[in-house]
Chain A
C-alpha cells in the first residue's frame, strides 16, 4: 500500500533500486531543494571563492579569472598602512567596551525583572524595552542626533538645567565622547531584547531551591548570587562565547551612521567600516578584501580560543 520509496526501511534493503532510479522517482522532492541549493551556491559560495581576490590585483575590466596573482602584497600593504594600528585599536577597544557593558546589562535587567511581582508593571517595562530592537539603525541614529543636538537636544538641555555645562556640547563632533555614545546606544537598543533568553533561563530555575534558601534565611540578594546566577551560568557562558566570536564586529551600521563626521575617523574607524570605506567608496577591491579576510581569520581564532577556555571550565559550544 505504501510507496516503498517513502519509507526509510526500503533504503536498508539489499535489492534496492539504483541511485539514479530512486532519484528519478523523487524528482518532485529534489525539485524543491535543488534550486534553493543552486541559489546558495551562487550567493554564498561564489563570494567565498571570490575572497581569493585578496591575493590578486583585481581589476573590474579584467575580471576574476584574468587578474594577476600577487600573493600577500595587499596584506603587507594593510599591515604597513599608517591607519592599521589605529583601526586595530578602535576595533578592539570598541568591541571590548561593548562586551564589558553590553553583555552583563541584559543579565542584570533579567534579574531585576524577575523580582517584579506586579504583572502589569513587568509587562509594560518589557514591552517598552524590547521596542528599540525593532527600529532600524537609521531611526536610532536619528534619535541619538536629536537627543545630543546642540540646538536644544534633550541631553544638552538637561545638562544646562542642572548647571553642569554652560554652553551646549556638540557631542557628535568631539572624539572623546564617541565611544561612550556608541556603547550607550548599543545597550539602549539591545538590552531588552537580549534579556529575553536570560528571563527564560531564570524561569526554568527550580523554585524549590529558592524556597529552601529562604528557609535557611537567605535574603533576595543572596538568592540571586548563590542560586539564580549559578543556575543560569551555562546559558550565560554560551552567549559569552558567541559574543567573543563576534568580538571583531565592533559595529558597523552604528559607526557608519553616527560617525560620519570626519573628525571622528581617528576614534571610529574599525575593521568593518574600513573595509567599506576602502572597498566600496574607494574601489580598492583586493586591498579591502584582504583586510576583511584578516578580520575573519582573527574572529575564528577568537571563537576557538574562547571555546577552549570555556571547555576547560566545563562548558562549551561543541
Chain B
C-alpha cells in the first residue's frame, strides 16, 4: 500500500522526535562519563560536552586509591550478593509452600500477605521497630527487612503452579520429600523466573541509598550510593562556597588536576558500572517481568 505525503511527513517527525528523545536520555550519562575522563581543572574552564579535551585517568586513580570509596564499593557488592541470595532463596521456598493446594490455611495465609501490599506502617513505626530490634549500625539492616517480598512470592508461585504436576509426582514416587522436590525438580526448572527476580532484587540492593542513610551512622558500613549522596551533598555546599569566594576557589582549583566535580563524576561512573554490566541481561528479562507484574495488578 502506498503511503500518503502526510504519512511520510508524520514518519519523519516521529523519527526526529525519537532521535531527540534518545539524545536527551543519553546525554547526561555521556557527559558525566566524559567529565570523569577529563582533567578536573580543564573541566572548570568549561565547554566539555561530547568528548574529553584533556584526557586523564587521574580521577579514577584517586577514586580507586581512596580506601573509603573502595570500602563502600565492597559493602555494596556484599550487600547485593547476600541480600539477593537470601531474599530470593527464602521467597522461593515460601512461594513453593504457598503454591501447594493441600497446604492447610493457604487462603488465610494469602490474605495475610496481600494485606501488606496495600497497607504499611509507614516510615516512623518501621524506623522504631528496626531500632528496637537492635539492627541499627549493622550490615544486616540492609538485608533482613527486605528478605520476604510478597510481590516476588506471588510471581514465583504463579510460575511454580505452571510446572506440570507429573514431574513432581514422579519425583515423589522416587522418594522425594517436599523439600527434595523443591530443590531437585522445581528450582532447576525455574531458571528464567529466578534470573528475572534476582536481577530486579539486586538492582534494588545496589541502588538503595536511603535505608543505610537512616539506619547506619558508622561510615565503614555505608554502601557506595550513600557515600556518593554525601559527596554530592557536600558538593552543593562547596559550590555555594565557591560563589561566595570565587577568586580564592579559582586559585585553589588551578593547582588541582582533580576537582570535587570530576571526582564525583568518576565515583558516579564507578557506582553505575555494575548496573551497566547486568543491563543487557536485565533487558532480556524485564519486559517479561513488567508484564507479569502488570497482570497481577
Residues of A in contact with B (beta carbons under 8 Å apart)? 1-3, 5-8, 11, 19, 22-23, 26, 28-30, 32-33, 36-37, 39-40, 42-51, 53, 58, 64, 109, 112-113, 115-116, 121, 124-125, 127-132, 134-139, 141-147, 149-152, 154, 157, 170, 172-173, 188, 191-193, 196-197, 200, 214, 219-221, 238, 242, 253, 256-257, 260-261, 272, 275-276, 279-280, 285, 288-289, 292-293, 296, 317
Q: Point out the residue from A8, A11, A149, A276 that lies within 8 Å of B239, measured CB to CB.
A: A149
Given A5-B102, A32-B96, the answer on whether A48 and B119 have CB atoms closer than 8 Å is yes
B178 CB–A CB distance under 8 Å? yes
Given A6-B102, A130-B283, A293-B122, the answer on whether A50 and B97 have CB atoms closer than 8 Å is no
In the complex, are the beta carbons of B128 and A50 less than 8 A apart? yes
Q: Point out the residue from A8, A39, A260 that lies within 8 Å of B236, measured CB to CB.
A: A260
Query: Mask for B230-271, Cβ within 8 A of A = 1, else 0?
Result: 001101100110110000000000000000010011001001
Candidate in A40, A53, A124 with the most chain B CB atoms within 10 angstroms:
A40
In the complex, are the beta carbons of A152 and B47 less than 8 A apart? yes
Top 9 A-B pairs, shortest CB-CB distance: A47-B121, A50-B125, A32-B97, A136-B207, A152-B46, A33-B97, A47-B125, A143-B28, A36-B94
A-chain residues with CB within 8 Å of residue B21 when the two chains form the complex: 109, 125, 129, 191
B210 CB–A CB distance under 8 Å? yes
Given A116-B14, A221-B6, the answer on whether A29 and B97 have CB atoms closer than 8 Å is yes
What are 16 of the A-B contact pairs (CB < 8 Å)?
A: A8-B102, A28-B179, A46-B125, A48-B120, A53-B125, A129-B22, A142-B265, A142-B268, A154-B49, A157-B49, A170-B243, A197-B291, A242-B297, A275-B124, A280-B127, A289-B125
B209 CB–A CB distance under 8 Å? yes
Residues of B in contact with A (beta carbons under 8 Å apart)? 1, 3-4, 6-7, 10-11, 14-15, 17-19, 21-22, 24-29, 31-32, 35, 43-49, 90-91, 93-94, 96-98, 100-104, 109, 112-113, 116, 119-129, 145, 147-148, 150, 153, 169, 172-173, 177-179, 182, 203, 206-210, 214, 225-226, 228-229, 232-233, 235-236, 239-240, 242-243, 261, 264-265, 268, 271-272, 275, 279, 282-283, 286-287, 290-291, 294, 297
Whole-angstrom CA separation of A221 from B93 in the bound complex? 50
Name A211's closest neighbour in chain B (CB-CB): B1
B-chain residues with CB within 8 Å of residue A260 when the two chains form the complex: 233, 236
Whole-angstrom CA separation of A135 from B193 in the bound complex? 22
In the complex, are the beta carbons of B129 and A47 less than 8 A apart? yes
In the complex, are the beta carbons of A137 and B209 less than 8 A apart? yes
A-chain residues with CB within 8 Å of residue B271 when the two chains form the complex: 136, 138-139
Whole-angstrom CA separation of A117 from B148 in the bound complex? 43
B-chain residues with CB within 8 Å of residue A53 when the two chains form the complex: 124-125, 128
Name B264's closest neighbour in chain A (CB-CB): A142
Whole-angstrom CA separation of A120 from B54 in the bound complex? 33
Q: Kindly provide the distance from the CB of A159 to the nearest chain B CB, expressed in whole angstroms.
A: 13
Name A46's closest neighbour in chain B (CB-CB): B129
In the complex, are the beta carbons of B26 and A128 less than 8 A apart? yes
Q: Point out the residue from B17, B27, B291 that lies within 8 Å of A200, measured CB to CB.
A: B291
B-chain residues with CB within 8 Å of residue A51 when the two chains form the complex: 121-122, 125
In the complex, are the beta carbons of A288 and B124 less than 8 A apart? yes
Q: Kindly provide the distance from the CB of B294 to the nearest chain A CB, expressed in whole angstroms.
A: 5
Whole-angstrom CA separation of A150 from B113 in the bound complex? 49
A-chain residues with CB within 8 Å of residue B286 when the two chains form the complex: 130, 196
B-chain residues with CB within 8 Å of residue A275 when the two chains form the complex: 122-124
Whole-angstrom CA separation of A130 from B31 in the bound complex? 18
B-chain residues with CB within 8 Å of residue A288 when the two chains form the complex: 123-124
Name B267's closest neighbour in chain A (CB-CB): A142
In the complex, are the beta carbons of B10 and A221 less than 8 A apart? yes
Whole-angstrom CA separation of A91 from B290 in the bound complex? 28
Whole-angstrom CA separation of A115 from B3 in the bound complex? 13
Whole-angstrom CA separation of A200 from B172 in the bound complex? 40
Given A7-B102, A29-B178, A145-B235, the answer on whether A135 and B275 have CB atoms closer than 8 Å is yes
Q: Kindly provide the distance from the CB of A182 to the nearest chain B CB, expressed in whole angstroms.
A: 16
